[in-house]
């Protein structure tokens, strides 16, 4: 059995993987009393479908040349990716208490030199897609059939560099490039619709020459189907999937206050948050 087959064990439902990713993220954030928890809870279903369905990789060999590259363009989502890498067995769960410590492999902002499975140092928004284009081109030139997945956010779609990269991806017909957008409708300065208008996102990216799908990012069947279509399609160019998500998904009382880029969790609320999440544990 290959690693990918083991990871896709049918006896571990994706919903349970997503639940575990949320729990790892909450436990990590609690160590520092803070973290981009709204984003991690919101994108957990998408990450579960990526790491336990779509991506090829070897947990024991994160540098394996044949791996699909998963780029975290949104560096502030690092805690979300750590949680997925822990669930995937790339990072041991025992490292959770080190989150944010000086000598930790899990710094609060993602850095590729620190963390296995972290392909790039993201965070300067708009850069991830430019790197992804170069990687996808390089892989194709080396006849490496791996795919490049680049995780972006709705706020990041406003960055000019992304649009330049979008044109280059079409120019080079990068059919091995999949851009994933966590569309939670929020960004640092408020609701995305009130900052710069990226609407209509699907039409704009299609007009640039991309294949575009848009699905509910909490409907695991739809997420899986979209990821399969993005990879399997005969389309001769780059692909994008926009996932509509809700910040803090899975922790009801945080979800209700989640209209902020940085969700505040008071010290006495971490237990409550973990208990609230527990109530959503899949059967
Ligand atoms: C080039 C650049 N400009 C500004 C920032 C500061 N910044 C960090 S996160 C963020 C919000 C981006 O939108 P989004 O990722 O949708 O926000 P979220 O959903 O996490 O609230 C901003 C402006 C940055 N990291 N990089
Ligand atoms: Mg956002």
Q: What is the pLDDT of residues 12-33, one digit of tens each?
A: 999 999 999 999 999 999 999 9
In this predicted structure, the answer to whether residue 4 has a pLDDT above a threshold of 70 is no
Mean pLDDT of the chain: 94
Which H/E stretch holds residue 27? helix 14-32
Q: Using one digit for the tens of pLDDT, what is the confidence trace for 131-166?
A: 999 999 999 999 999 999 999 999 999 999 999 999
pLDDT at residue number 1: 42
Task: Give just the sign of the alpha carbon dihedral 49, 17, 80, 268.
Answer: positive
Ligand 2: centre distance to CA 192 (Å):
7
User: Can you list the pairs that 93-99 forms with residues at least 24 positions away whose Cβ atoms lie under 8 Å?
Assistant: 93/24, 96/24, 96/27, 96/28, 96/31, 97/31, 98/31, 99/28, 99/29, 99/31, 99/32, 99/35
Mean pLDDT over 243-269 rounds to 91
Number of the ligand 1 atom closest to the C-alpha atom of 39 = 20
Distance CA 219, CA 223 (A): 6
Contact 148, 179 (CB under 8 A): no
Mean pLDDT over 187-206 rounds to 92
Which residue in 189, 185, 179, 196 sits closest to 245, CA to CA?
Answer: 185
Whether the CB of 76 sits within 6 Å of ligand 1: yes
Contact 72, 128 (CB under 8 A): yes
Helix/strand/coil for 84: helix
Q: Using one digit for the tens of pLDDT, what is the confidence trace for 30-52?
A: 999 999 999 999 999 999 999 99
Domains of the chain: 3-279 (3.40.50.970)
In this predicted structure, the answer to whether residue 123 has a pLDDT above a threshold of 50 is yes
Q: Using one digit for the tens of pLDDT, what is the confidence trace for 222-252?
A: 999 999 999 999 999 999 999 999 999 999 9
Q: What is the pTM of this model?
A: 0.96
Whether the CB of 126 sits within 6 Å of ligand 1: yes
Protein residue closest via CA to atom 13 of ligand 1 = 155
Whether the CB of 155 sits within 6 Å of ligand 1: yes
Whether the CB of 184 sits within 6 Å of ligand 1: yes
Ligand nearest to the CA of 162: 1
Protein residue closest via CA to atom 16 of ligand 1 = 155
Q: Kindly report the CA angle at 75 between 69 and 80, in degrees rounded to 5?
A: 80
pLDDT at residue number 283: 81
Mutating to test ligand 1, I would choose from 127, 153, 180 the residue with most ligand atoms within 8 A of its C-beta, which is 153
CA atoms within 13 A on the CB side of 13: 8
Q: Tell me which residue has tokens 């001769």.
A: 236
Q: Using one digit for the tens of pLDDT, what is the confidence trace for 89-108?
A: 999 999 999 999 999 999 99
pLDDT-derived band of residue 259, with 50, 70 and 90 as boundaries?
confident
Ligand nearest to the CA of 243: 2
């Amino acid at each position: 059995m290959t690693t990918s087959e083991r990871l896709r064990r049918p006896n571990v439902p994706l919903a349970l993987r997503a639940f575990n990713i949320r729990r790892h993220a909450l436990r990590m954030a609690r160590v520092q009393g803070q973290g981009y928890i709204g984003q991690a809870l919101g994108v957990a279903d998408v990450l579960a479908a990526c790491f336990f369905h779509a991506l090829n990789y070897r947990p024991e060999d994160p540098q394996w040349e044949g791996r699909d590259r998963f780029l975290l363009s949104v560096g502030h989502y690092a805690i979300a990716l750590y949680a997925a890498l822990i669930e995937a067995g790339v990072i041991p769960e025992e490292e959770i208490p080190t989150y944010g410590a000086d000598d930790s492999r899990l710094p609060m902002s993602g850095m590729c030199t620190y963390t296995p499975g972290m392909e790039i140092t993201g965070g300067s928004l708009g850069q991830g897609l430019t790197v992804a284009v170069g990687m996808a081109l390089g892989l194709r030139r080396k006849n490496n059939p791996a795919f490049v997945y680049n995780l972006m956010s709705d706020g990041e779609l406003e960055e000019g560099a992304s649009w330049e990269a979008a044109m280059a991806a079409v120019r080079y017909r990068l059919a091995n490039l999949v851009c994933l957008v966590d569309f939670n409708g929020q960004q640092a300065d408020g609701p995305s619709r009130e900052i710069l208008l990226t609407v209509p996102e699907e039409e704009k990216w299609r007009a640039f020459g991309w294949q575009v799908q848009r699905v509910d990012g909490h409907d695991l069947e739809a997420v899986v189907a979209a990821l399969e279509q993005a990879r399997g399609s005969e389309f001769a160019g780059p692909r994008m999937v926009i996932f509509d998500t809700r910040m803090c998904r899975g922790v009801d009382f945080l979800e209700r206050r989640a209209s902020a880029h940085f969700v505040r969790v008071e010290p006495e609320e971490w237990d409550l948050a973990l208990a609230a999440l527990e109530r959503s544990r899949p059967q």
